[in-house]
Amino acid sequence: MPAARQRALEFGADLALDPADDIAARVRELTGGAGLAFAFDFAGVAAVREQAVRCLERDGALVLVGLTDQPLSIRNGTQFSYFGQRILGHYGSEPGHVEELVALVRHHRLDLSRSISGTLPLTEAADGVQRLASKEGNPIRLVITP
């Protein structure tokens, strides 16, 4: 979504590419042909993972952050193995992770306020999920309150 790419740039991203373009070719161009050491899938979507793998350098790793119950597949397994590429899983919701985030916010090292689009009472959680799914109002993150 163009609005999401613009928001990423406003939040400090160096670059925000259109996924409809040939991302792998653009990444190779921008990295002098090397590719990415790490690519992160925050969406849990097969197309994102496939695109990310095509952007990896030799010994590069795809880090799976977005959760999904869908199968994981690599289209060109021979190439993936030849280049020594890896897939790493990351869950990120252990108590220690939450404590680290709270500490970062408390010490003003991380400001999450711009990534919160709004708050909703628990009774409106289903409405919030629908708003996120339909991208109504260009949401980033909705916080549910008790």
User: Beta strands 118-121 and 56-64: pairing type?
Assistant: unpaired
- Render pLDDT for 1-47 as a digit per residue (tens, 0 to 9): 888 899 889 988 999 999 899 999 999 999 999 999 999 998 898 98
* Residue spans per domain, the chain: 2-89, 95-145
pLDDT of residue 55: 96
Query: 2-89 has which CATH code?
Result: 3.40.50.720
pLDDT of residue 138: 80
Name the token pair of 85. Answer: 């590429």
Beta strands in 7-85 (DSSP E): 36-41, 56-64
CB 117 within 8 A of CB 137: yes
